[in-house]
Amino acid sequence: GESVGLHLPTLSVQEGDNSIINCAYSNSASDYFIWYKQESGKGPQFIIDIRSNMDKRQGQRVTVLLNKTVKHLSLQIAATQPGDSAVYFCAENTGTASKLTFGTGTRLQVTL
């Protein structure tokens, strides 16, 4: 069935560097995408979302890029900090559906 997946299960970056977390999706009808951050023992925390009619959206230290041609979504974190260490999930939703489909997650490890 349609699914959302991630290329890398674990990403290790040095503090201060930029991080890029990638996500591939397979449902071309998806029109809404969202990134969540999940720290150990906590629920997923909203980071940023984007509609399918957008290519890019920026937040505080984070940028989401959407490439519909290749069905690819990425999350960029600028100046990565130790507090950014967590598992990051992308999720997609189609317009008429009422549920998000989550990928399996990428673990971001920030080294000092």
DSSP the chain: ---EE-S-SEEEEETTS-EEEEEEE--TTEEEEEEEEE-TTS--EEEEEEETT-SEEE-SSEEEEEETTTTEEEEEESS--GGG-EEEEEEEEETT----EE---EEEEEE-
Measured from the CB atom, is 29 or 79 closer to another protein? 29
Least distance in Å: CB of 71 to another protein? 17
Least distance in Å: CB of 63 to another protein? 16
Least distance in Å: CB of 11 to another protein? 16
Interface positions with another protein (CB under 8 A)? 4, 32, 34, 36, 41-46, 49-51, 89, 91, 93, 95-100, 102-105
Looking at the DSSP assignment, which residues form a beta bridge with residue 58?
Answer: 63
Measured from the CB atom, is 18 or 58 closer to another protein? 58
Least distance in Å: CB of 43 to another protein? 4
Measured from the CB atom, is 17 or 39 closer to another protein? 39
Measured from the CB atom, is 19 or 93 closer to another protein? 93
Residue entry with tokens 């503090």 = 15
